[in-house]
């Protein structure tokens, strides 16, 4: 056994740098895996945010479309032969029409202009919709 000790010691000495290199390789591979995982996560978040923004854009378009029908309805009401001073629940017809016009203005997604529309879309994150 004593005769084998120098060979055993030489093997340990020779294996030391190899073990160190293997550990460094494993650590480097783990760092690369983590970087790739982070990249995939960020890409997934970006895709989700983009899809959510498109969803909000479509919602705004649908709201705008629905408001067009409301505007048409209000125009039809205006054209009807009604006494403007007739009271309904303490308001004249003119006051009710003004009330509806005010709601239309507040609800219109285009009321603030194009910039306002895209500012509302830019506020959307990948967490805005939970589904």
pLDDT (tens digit per residue) in 44-66: 999 999 999 999 999 999 999 99
Q: How many angstroms separate the Cα of 130 from the Cα of each of 48, 49, 71?
A: 11, 11, 33
Phi-psi region of 20 (alpha: psi -120 to 50; beta: other; left: phi over 0): alpha
pLDDT digits (tens, 9 = 90+) for 92-115: 988 999 999 999 999 999 999 999
Distance in angstroms (rounded) separating the CA atoms of residues 127 and 52: 8
pTM: 0.71
Residue 13, φ and ψ in degrees, nearest 5: -65, -40
Q: Where are the domains of the chain?
A: 5-122
Residues ≥6 apart with Cβ < 8 Å to 78: 97
């Amino acid at each position: 056994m004593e005769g084998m000790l120098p060979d055993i010691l030489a093997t340990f000495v020779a294996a030391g740098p190899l073990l160190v290199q293997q550990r460094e390789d494993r650590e480097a591979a783990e760092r690369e895996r983590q970087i790739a995982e982070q990249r995939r996560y960020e890409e997934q978040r970006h895709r989700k945010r983009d899809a959510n923004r498109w969803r909000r854009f479509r919602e705004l378009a649908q709201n705008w479309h629905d408001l067009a029908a409301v505007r048409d309805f209000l125009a039809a009401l205006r054209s009807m032969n009604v006494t403007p001073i007739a009271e309904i629940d303490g308001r004249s017809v003119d006051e009710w029409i003004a009330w509806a016009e005010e709601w239309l203005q507040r609800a219109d997604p285009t009321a603030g202009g194009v910039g306002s529309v895209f500012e509302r879309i830019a506020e959307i994150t990948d967490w805005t919709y939970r589904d």
